[in-house]
Amino acid sequence: MRLPLKRISAVVRHGNLAARTATTTSRLPQATPIQAQQHQRSASRLASALHKVVDAMTAPLEKTPLNPAGTTEEKLIFAPPEDQYRKGALDREHLDPDPVIQFHKWFKEAQASTDQAEALTLSTAHLPSGRVSSRIVYMKELTHLGFVVYSNFATSQKAEDLRTNPHASLSFWWKELERQVRVEGVCERISKEESQAYFDTRGRGSRIGAWASKQSQVIESREVLEGWGKEKIEVPEYWGGLRIRPLRVEFWQGRESRLHDRFEYVRDTVDGEWRINRLSP
Ligand SMILES: Cc1cc2nc3c(=O)[nH]c(=O)nc-3n(C[C@H](O)[C@H](O)[C@H](O)COP(=O)(O)O)c2cc1C
């Protein structure tokens, strides 16, 4: 049986105490009454230390979410093999002063070498609970104002979070280039006209789907879902674009031995001046 580290160290601690007690006991000369008493105390300390050794070895393990029965501390995954990153380097003199232009340059390189370069993790946080939630979405547009994603803003968790807290973060991972981009910013809904323009580029099925996903609303009949003619389908109120106006954008290029290149662009307001800092990996 393999003992978990916590228990091995308990055994060693109690074992050391037992050994010290036994040494003391064995050095006692012929016993006077007082010495006999001390001898007895030492012996009982030794016995109780040995009990602790046995208890430590046989005590049930702590119950944890990974180990609900408290029967094993085996990790389900432990430290997958380390990759070395050697595909590129990033230095200040090659950075564009505008992070949107810099992002655009990296994005085009990612599109040329990566499947779904536009996929990103969008994280939002609910207030006052502070609970954070993340999901994959697609970046559909990039303008000088920011990054635009499209979604349903009625019933989704992100909609719920954004109603209480407009801050969000995005992260892109382009494995083939060993690059990560992180964006933190403030969200705003884009205009209905802009959303309509994107909506019109979607297939008919997806446009109807956006209406159909108004989940749990009472509808008169199936015709409501299927009765869309050739006429223009209006973008639903609750569906549309969300622009993340960046306050911080970080470009991360993997390097060997975890000595990655990291540069952040930061500003205090969404129309402020950018400052660029190199960050420790
Ligand atoms: C590859 C991929 C792309 C996705 N793209 C979008 C998207 O562009 N917009 C969107 O609302 N959901 C998208 N989803 C679904 C979201 O991950 C998520 O399930 C949905 O937005 C509801 O999340 P929420 O309730 O946490 O807000 C995508 C999922 C995957 C796996």
> Within a domain: residue 15?
yes
Question: Looking at residues 198-205, what average pLDDT do you find?
Answer: 88
| Distances in whole angstroms, Cα of residue 131 to Cα of each of 128, 230, 242 | 8, 43, 21
pLDDT at 1: 43
The answer to the question of residue 85 being in a domain is: no
Read off the tokens for 21. 């007690």
The whole-number average pLDDT for the span 232-260 is 94
Check pLDDT > 50 for residue 205. Answer: yes
Q: Is 151 in the pocket of ligand 1 (CB under 6 A)?
A: yes
Give the CA distances from residue 144 to residues 3, 141, 150, 246, 278, in Å, rounded to whole numbers and listed in that order: 58, 10, 17, 10, 23
Residue finishing a domain among 80, 103, 135: 80
Asked if residue 148 and residue 101 are part of one domain, the reply reads yes
pLDDT at 54 > cutoff 60: yes
Q: Which atom of ligand 1 is nearest to the CA of 161?
A: 27
Q: How far apart are CA 125 and CA 157, in angstroms?
A: 10
Look at strands 132-143 and 146-152 and give their pairing: antiparallel
| Tens digits of residue pLDDT in 67-107 | 677 666 678 888 888 889 999 999 999 999 999 999 999 99
Q: Which of 92, 258, 275, 278 is catalytic?
A: 258
Give the separation between CA 236 and CA 34, rounded to whole angstroms: 93
Residue 162 to residue 127: CA distance in whole angstroms: 9
The number of domains in the chain is 2
Same domain, 37 and 133: no
**Given ligand 1 and candidates 114, 123, 124, 135, which is best to mutate, with the most ligand atoms within 8 Å of its CB?**
135
CB atoms closer than 10 angstroms to residue 245: 16
Catalytic, 258? Answer: yes
Same domain? For 66 and 174 the reply is no
Same domain flag for 176 and 269:
yes
Q: Identify whether residues 133 and 203 lie together within a single domain.
A: yes
pTM for this one? Answer: 0.74
Q: Is-contact 170 121, C-beta < 8 A? A: yes
State residue 214's pLDDT score: 59
Ligand 1 pocket residue status of 155, Cβ below 6 Å: no
150: Cβ below 6 Å to ligand 1? yes
Q: What pLDDT sits at residue 151?
A: 93
Res. 133 pLDDT band, cuts 50 70 90: very high
- Domain enclosing residue 68, as ranges: 1-80
Based on the fold, state whether residues 12 and 60 are members of the same structural domain. Answer: yes
Please give the pLDDT value at position 2.
47
Residue 181, number of CB atoms within 10 A of its CB: 21
